[in-house]
Structure 1
Amino acid sequence: MSTMYLVMILGLMIVAPLVSIVSEYSAGGGTNDLLLLVGKWFVFWAVGIRLFTAGLSQSFRPEFTAGNILGSKSADRSVLQIVQELGFANLGFGVIGILSLVFPTWIVPAAVAGGLFLGLAGIRHIGKAGKNTKEWIATLTDLLVFVVLAVFVVYVWTTGAA
């Protein structure tokens, strides 16, 4: 397994959001509401930066996702086309997550769309037999981010916080 892949996934989906949350909270940033900071930074890093970088990789190197993460040994162009189109969708999710820092009203919609995407992808991967280490990492981090963003969205919707 590539150490770089592990560092990137854990960094973008866990470490960077937590560092950003702690930094802004400690500095007395725009809000004292910890759950709003959790939503803001998990959307930016895990939906925005993570899905944008995944989208770039899938769009320009569909063979990597097809072979190394999904375990496809097929050189079938239709498999690569599907991975590449997934990359285009990830670019879209990523851009919305990144721009949520500029447009804060986009945070909740990005959390819903990105969280749902990651959650459903994670659930789908659970049942797949023969997952390699990269796929396990992707599955577990997708599910973790889904739970974090679901809690955030429910919090915002039930309290009216934003």
Structure 2
Amino acid sequence: MEATTVLEMDIRREGIIPTIQAVQADSGRSVRCHIAGITDIDGRARIYCKKPSGKETYTDATILSSNCITFELTDQMLAETGNTLGQIQVLSANKNITTFKFKIEVSENKIMQSSITSSDDYKALIEALRKIERFDPIEITNEEIDALASEVSM
């Protein structure tokens, strides 16, 4: 499972800052970036990010074609809520080009920061526990296990 954001940038001018929206602590997000105004990306590409706290990341990207790269939004890129600013650096044997900045808007992940403290908010969990409680754990049979498994998967 992966969510891919398509980013379009022009290496020749800054323009409007492209924005990627993501949720804190997600691990299944990637970016495919089409870079206009550049020819033959044939070396390496790297992503530099500066988080709201000032901490930085520097990550390798994968070159897909002469003007397209892809990269994962790493756990460190998404570690802090707020606006993380990034740039793409394209390197070859004797030249390098850096894009203008892009922004990653990192939204707070309410689920990752919570714990199960109130059963009223977890109706699916309560229902699963209710189904399990109908069976006597001491005298449970294989038929009861199979019945429970089929009920829980419904």
**Structure of greater Rg:** 2
Confirm or deny a common fold (TM above 0.5). no
Q: By percentage of residues, which structure has more strand?
A: 2
- Higher RCO structure (Cα 8 Å, ≥6 apart): 1
Q: By percentage of residues, which structure has more helix?
A: 1
TM-score range, shorter chain: under 0.3
TM-score (norm 1): 0.23
TM-score (norm 2): 0.24
